[in-house]
Amino acid sequence: MSMDYYREYILDHYRNPRNYGKLDHPDAHAEDNNPLCGDQLAIDLQVDDDHITEVRFQGRGCAISQAAASMLSEMIEGKTVEEVVQLGKDDVLDALGIPISPARTKCAFLSLRVLHRSLALAGLEKPTMDDEDDQ
């Protein structure tokens, strides 16, 4: 059953992350780490006309956290800020398409947390997602 964790597309996103890197002048930026495992993640966004026109992320961590970040970056590019603000855990789980055990939820949702934090820091959304409430 653990094979489910490591399907081809997960490994593909892990080894060939989409939108990897950073922006020189991002409109929104945030970074965080998972103190339990040392995973790190930073997200840069360019926002034009209420749309996410460019996304870059950088990080290091397990296949789950890095694949989730890569998928999330694909998911949000071109979307309106309002649409991205609405993104939640279920959207990440749907994209991953694998069952996530309680011990791995912090890995799966690290990028989502950083994304919302970047929008909040840029004043584009209210800080609504509780950083500590990942379970």
The residue ranges that bind another protein (CB under 8 A) are 1-3, 5-6, 11, 15, 36-40, 60-64, 66, 103-104, 107
Q: Min. distance of Cβ 19 from another protein in angstroms?
A: 19
Q: Is 51 exposed, middle or buried (0-12, 13-18, 19+ CB in 10 A)?
A: middle
User: Residue 29 in contact with residue 45, Cβ under 8 Å?
Assistant: yes
Helix (H) or strand (E) holding 66: helix 63-76
User: Residue 30 in contact with residue 59, Cβ under 8 Å?
Assistant: no
Return the residue matching tokens 């989730």: 68
Helices 105-121 and 89-96 meet at what angle, rounded to 10?
130
Q: Among residues 32 and 39, whose Cβ is nearest to another protein? A: 39
Q: Which two tokens stand for residue 1?
A: 């059953």
Q: Among residues 3 and 132, whose Cβ is nearest to another protein? A: 3
Q: Among residues 38 and 123, whose Cβ is nearest to another protein? A: 38
Q: Min. distance of Cβ 98 from another protein in angstroms?
A: 11
Q: Min. distance of Cβ 50 from another protein in angstroms?
A: 36
Cα–Cα dist 90/95, whole Å: 8
Q: Min. distance of Cβ 108 from another protein in angstroms?
A: 12
Q: Among residues 45 and 67, whose Cβ is nearest to another protein? A: 67
